[in-house]
Amino acid sequence: MSRSSASPSTRWPLPAEDDWSTPFAELLLAQLDLRPGLTILDIACGHGIPAFYLAEQVGPTGSVLGIDMSRGQVANARAIQRGELPWLRFECLDMRALPASLPAFQRITGNLSVMFLRPNRFEAMKGLIDHLEPGGQIVLTFPSLGTFDSIWQRIDREMRRHGLIIERERLAAHVAERPSAAEARGWLERLNVERIDAIEQPLEVASGAGQRFLQHPLLRGGFLDDAYECFDDAGLADTVMTSVAADLESMMPLTARRCALSGWKPGQV
């Protein structure tokens, strides 16, 4: 995480050069009631977007615990921290099975987090709400159903052209697994969370054609990889995906759907 764009009042801003995590984090912060002294659990924290920003805002009277299943991500976040913001900690924990010994928090945040709650997303969400103090707020962001639809539709057309029935069924299952804003709202409603919002905003992603599309650092990880996983034959996968990548114009614009899910646990802090 670069701090080169830090202003005098903010030493740990959201990195301006991150064209994926930062736009989602900006949407998260727009919904979050943030002030000094709060205790925050930041799930799927990665290497610290927006955990560092959150820690700076709550200050030394508050605390932030960032958790991630990836030991590598936690190690990266600690390396960036270099002992600063001592009220910020990073730990390797599974957000789907938080230990009973973990205290409750006044805020729970998670940037680009909801997809990692699978396979039992509702049960995982219930576990998060159990660790939210009465009167506390949860805000999670995720790319919702409809993200990069133009890509999936183009891949499906190419699969159909090749007569690939099983691969098309697998692709459809991957796409359907992405939660919609309405589905995520429903989880919180079932948990009796109050003042629920599920806000969606578009985010366009730029890419070149061919290998620039297939190896795009954002599109490949977590998106195009899903398409490759639909194939048992790696050679056939390359043939189909190469044809798709050459037809970038038909997929433009490449649009993600940013969703911020927010709600408040009944009661008083």
Beta-carbon contacts of 16 under 8 Å, excluding residues fewer than 6 positions away, are: 2, 5, 22
Location of each CATH 3.40.50.150 domain in the chain: 21-144+179-204+256-264
CA separation for the pair 116, 128 (Å, rounded)? 13
Q: Estimate to the nearest angstrom the gap between the alpha carbon of 186 and the chain centroid.
A: 18
**Strands, DSSP E only, in 124-253?**
132-143, 194-205
Among 55, 8, 49, 10, which Cα is nearest to 36's? 55
Residue 78, phi then psi, degrees to nearest 5: -65, -35
- The residue among 215, 216, 218, 238 whose CA lies nearest residue 228 is 238
Fold type of domain 21-144+179-204+256-264: Rossmann fold (3.40.50)
CB neighbour class for 122 (10 Å; exposed up to 12, middle 13-18, buried from 19): middle
Going residue by residue through the chain, which has 269 residues, state the pLDDT in tens, using 9 for 90 and above.
Answer: 544 334 445 789 999 889 899 999 999 999 999 999 999 999 999 999 999 999 999 999 999 999 999 999 999 999 999 989 999 999 999 999 999 899 999 999 999 999 889 889 999 999 999 999 999 999 999 999 999 999 999 999 999 999 999 999 999 999 988 899 999 999 999 999 999 999 999 999 999 999 999 999 899 877 999 999 999 999 999 999 999 999 999 999 999 999 999 999 999 75
In this structure, the dihedral spanned by the alpha carbons of residues 206, 48, 53 and 57, taken in order and rounded to 10 degrees, is: 150
The model carries a pTM of 0.91
Q: Which of 29, 2, 6, 30 is nearest to 17 (CA)?
A: 2
